[in-house]
Structure 1
């Protein structure tokens, strides 16, 4: 699906008709959504998020801008509020994004490593996170962008498990109340045909963050992520999407900044954080089918694993996943879908409600 742009008004002979056509074109290029989003997944539980999102394309932008805010509450007593903005300038020569928010999350900590995840034993923790991220990119080649990402994150963790209950799972005291300040290079290769729901193209991203103790960070570790998404339309109604991703975290990384299997929907069907270590990888493929009017369906499958380091990824136990889902098109203008997915992982399953594709 091609990216939508505001159309220029044609010369219709009178100023009134020309202004009318310009107004209609501007309206067609703007989408404002107020979205009540049901939530159900193994990390958050069941609840509701409400988001207000405005998608628009100023003159000479070259790519839609997105501004939004949202709040969330779930049956697990998860609470969050956030705001974000992303934009392009000078015919998509420059890209800029900013996001920030606060979340209070009752979670379960299983420990670090594949064996800890397989045991399925955990302690209950309360994690309060306040932070934000800023990223600026410039086009340095054909569809290639490079820039800098900056992140600040303050995390307070309280262990909620009964202190008299014996447990071999522990979190170092220095990680219970800490701050991460990090920055590093970001690169993006964007050869997709649409910003929100591509049918053809390639999207590659890589980010390498370095802790900055001289700016107040409690940790000086590095953290890197990379991913590649490939999209291919088989016909007008059917398409394929594939994704591979990898993560690596330095040895000094706190428990909450390790590679969490299941983060960023890599892969669906796993509790985010049950399997965590200093390295992870995942590969998945999704078949996307238009069914009727605004309704579509998907089937997906994937596999991955975690490891103490990238050099030991080949020795990890494989963690497979798969499932099916339904789609409802919220915006014909930009191809934005609401989705519900039923996913199965290793000894686990989950239902996901969300807006936008998993990748």
Structure 2
């Protein structure tokens, strides 16, 4: 019953949020001609590591230039989340589209204190150990269209971590990184927030050189391939994704990747951690209403560079279902909730936008 209770609570909350947003939409109808669509999303979630999380996410969609009929709407928002294990996060996220979609920019800022856990087996008592990381990070990127569908650009990523480990299983560490980014994207999607056809291929190289204020040199290569197929005369969507995150060189503990989140849902304990991962997944998006829908998804991931060598190159499947609700009347942009199971693990995921 204890395992089922979080699902019941989240389901009741998601039902309540629909009625709340619906009343806001009736007010927004008379303001449809405005350039800015604004909404406040309550946040409630449960995680096996962070426990219950709650907060608020005010966000808006808008045109950078009202006369620009080609660029998608830009998105800006702030999220403030607190968890019952005394973690907190404050973040600002922005996606900008301007100059008739010739330029695309992103800015992300976050600060917080995460109380989480990791798995260690190279000590006297193998098992999960708690750690706390105070984090501040900034990530900015800018892209320009080179030819039709192809974008290229540069970016900068800064992060500062202060990590303390339970029972001193690892020494306290203070790490800061400055990363330079080169990125390319080939984008044939018919919409950026809810594509029904087309593909997105994205490749990013992040370099952390010593001459740029880093303690050691490291590199990360992030790749993804998402493709979308219209189903049921365009009412539904079949989506598929490959993601590869490759850490090269001296990857800090905080820079490692864990299986979970969008690749692959169903893992929330933070057990499977390494320098890189690869994941394949598919998702069917069933829209039974103009404002509501359901999704079903399944996939498999693998990792390498784990401190627990037996985890390397294992297969870690995940599958689940989710609920979607259209947050803005003027734009197909969903919020939702996913429930997924993995290998000896499970997770709940509150979504702002689609998983991919």
TM beyond 0.5: yes
Q: Is the Cα contact below 8 Å between 2:43 and 2:81 reproduced in 1?
A: no
The question of 1:85 aligning with 2:99 is answered no
Between the two proteins, the alignment pairs up a number of residues equal to 319
Q: Is the Cα contact below 8 Å between 1:108 and 1:125 reproduced in 2?
A: yes
CA distance in 1, matches of 2:76, 2:292: 26
CA distance in 2, matches of 1:120, 1:296: 43
The question of 1:182 aligning with 2:179 is answered yes
Aligned to 2:133: 127
Question: Which of 69, 78, 87 is matched with 1:69 structurally?
Answer: 78
Question: Which of 329, 334, 339 is matched with 1:332 structurally?
Answer: 329
Aligned to 1:9: none
Q: Is the Cα contact below 8 Å between 1:39 and 1:47 reproduced in 2?
A: yes
Structure 1's unaligned 5+ residue stretches are 1-22, 164-169
Q: Is the Cα contact below 8 Å between 1:181 and 1:211 reproduced in 2?
A: yes
Alignment of 1:148-159 (within 5 A): 148-159=154-165
Q: Is the Cα contact below 8 Å between 1:260 and 1:272 reproduced in 2?
A: no
Aligned to 1:306: 303
Scaled by the length of structure 1, the TM-score of the pair is 0.83
Cα 1:45/1:142, change in 2 over 3 Å = same
Structure with larger RCO (C-alpha < 8 A, sep 6+): 1
CA distance in 2, matches of 1:351, 1:120: 27
Q: Pick the structure with greater CA Rg.
A: 1
Q: Is the Cα contact below 8 Å between 1:129 and 1:153 reproduced in 2?
A: yes
The question of 1:107 aligning with 2:107 is answered no
Q: Is the Cα contact below 8 Å between 1:181 and 1:213 reproduced in 2?
A: no
Q: Is the Cα contact below 8 Å between 2:231 and 2:238 reproduced in 1?
A: yes
Question: Cα distance, 1:33 vs. partner?
Answer: 1.2
The question of 1:341 aligning with 2:338 is answered yes
Aligned to 1:98: 107
CA distance in 1, matches of 2:55, 2:269: 18
Aligned to 2:257: 259
| Structure 1 outlier segments of 4+, above 3 Å | 23-26, 170-173
- Which secondary structure state, in structure 2, belongs to the residue aligned with residue 286 of structure 1? strand
Scaled by the length of structure 2, the TM-score of the pair is 0.83
The question of 1:284 aligning with 2:281 is answered yes
Q: Is the Cα contact below 8 Å between 2:284 and 2:295 reproduced in 1?
A: yes
Cα 1:24/1:344, change in 2 over 3 Å = closer
Q: Is the Cα contact below 8 Å between 1:180 and 1:219 reproduced in 2?
A: no
CA distance in 1, matches of 2:97, 2:126: 44
Aligned to 1:242: 240
- Which secondary structure state, in structure 2, belongs to the residue aligned with residue 127 of structure 1? strand
The question of 1:162 aligning with 2:159 is answered no
CA distance in 2, matches of 1:172, 1:141: 50
Cα 1:24/1:177, change in 2 over 3 Å = closer
The question of 1:224 aligning with 2:221 is answered yes
Q: Is the Cα contact below 8 Å between 1:248 and 1:280 reproduced in 2?
A: yes
